Amino acid sequence: MTDRQWEALLAVLDGQILSPPPMGFIIDSPWLPHWAGTTILDYYASDEIWLEANLRAAAAFPDLIFLPGFWAEYGMCTEPSAFGARCTFPPDEFPFAHPVIRASEDIDALEIPDPETDGLAPFVLARLRRARPRIEAAGHKIRFSISRGPLNVASFLMGVDGFLTALVTEPERAARLLGAITGYLVRWHEIQRAAFPTIDGMLVLDDIVGFIGRAHFETFARPHLARLFAPPVRVKFFHNDADARISAPALADLGVNLFNMGSDVPLGEWRRLAGDRVTLLGNIPPRDVLADGTPDDVRAAVRSLVGSLADRRRIIFSCGGGMPPGVPTENIQAFIKAVKEIS
């Protein structure tokens, strides 16, 4: 992210209206490798391929704020790997972490790993350190510390069904597990900030927050998210493109000031739910329109989105969720052009 883009992001979070309106997307391995003409495994394995893909995207679409920007990641495996999860990396498919907690009793012996030495986190830091000179030479800076959220990590360690069942049948153990994971994640964000002083934002991704009801959110999600979002950084960015209607009203109190949601609920309704202190990043349909639609479909979706908004403050135009696989260049260009024309 360039200085100009960072300042624009802060201005939008502050409630300023910019012209043209800000546009941005979460981009990572579901979209970027194939768009750049490489395999998913090579994207993970090669510093050079990873960096060139990110530089190429930033140069191809200078009007877009790519969030978090130069995301060094290994799919969903970075955090679970630190807890001992076996991770499978197919040649050109998304990697996945295998459950490591087979019975709830296993939680009792769980140790909090060290992000500096355990799992894939040290490889993330090493990649960013090596790439930092070229990133900055291209006019960008590393702006965000990044992690999956505590419920998301727990769902990989136990399996989604096993974790959600534990919330009901073993609530004390489930709370203990989430506390251990959150402790690890807090430390992981601290290490990232210490390694890169340009970081003044954090991104937390946790779709499992959208899988639970209000009572479980208050007991199992809110306190751990509040702990995770406690650091005094300027941008606190939360992604949940599952059903976030229960959690959205709590975001501002948790400190979140930037939120990326799904596309099932209109952006105007998200404004009502999240309140006017939270900047919304969204939310045309990612797969059916942005990836599989025509440029005309994209333009129509943008017009519909903008037309639904009574107030364009604290809005960054995007899709609902991250950039999905298969989005072609011409659809991204159509998106940019439509937003500019409407402004």
CA gap 4, 139 in Å, rounded: 10
pLDDT in tens, 219-233: 999 999 999 999 999
- Backbone torsion region of residue 200, taken as left when φ is above 0, otherwise alpha when ψ lies between -120 and 50, otherwise beta: alpha
Average pLDDT, the chain: 97
CA gap 103, 166 in Å, rounded: 10
CA gap 35, 286 in Å, rounded: 15
How many other C-beta atoms are found inside a 10 Å radius of the C-beta of residue 15? 11
The predicted pLDDT at position 308 comes to 85
The predicted pLDDT at position 297 comes to 98
Section 47-70 average pLDDT: 98
Split at pLDDT 50, 70, 90, the class of 24 is: very high
Residue 293 pLDDT greater than 90, yes or no: yes
Section 175-196 average pLDDT: 98
Residue 342 pLDDT greater than 90, yes or no: no
Structure tokens at 51: 């960096």
Residue 259 pLDDT greater than 90, yes or no: yes
Domain ranges of the chain: 3-342
Split at pLDDT 50, 70, 90, the class of 307 is: confident
The predicted pLDDT at position 166 comes to 97
Question: How far is the CA of 222 from the CAs of 102, 216, 301, 305, in angstroms?
Answer: 26, 9, 33, 30
Residue 343 pLDDT greater than 80, yes or no: no
pLDDT in tens, 145-179: 999 999 999 999 999 999 999 999 999 999 999 99
CA gap 87, 59 in Å, rounded: 33
Rounded to two decimals, the pTM is: 0.97
The predicted pLDDT at position 69 comes to 97
User: 3-342 is classed in which CATH architecture?
Assistant: Alpha-Beta Barrel (3.20)
The predicted pLDDT at position 188 comes to 98
| 255, 274 contact by CB (below 8 A) | no
Q: At what angle do helices 329-342 and 295-307 cross, to 10 degrees?
A: 30
The predicted pLDDT at position 160 comes to 97
| 303, 342 contact by CB (below 8 A) | yes
**Cross-strand bridge partners of residue 201:** 144, 235
Question: How far is the CA of 19 from the CAs of 108, 176, 305, in angstroms?
Answer: 54, 48, 17
Structure tokens at 288: 């059916």
Q: What percent of the chain has pLDDT over 70?
A: 100
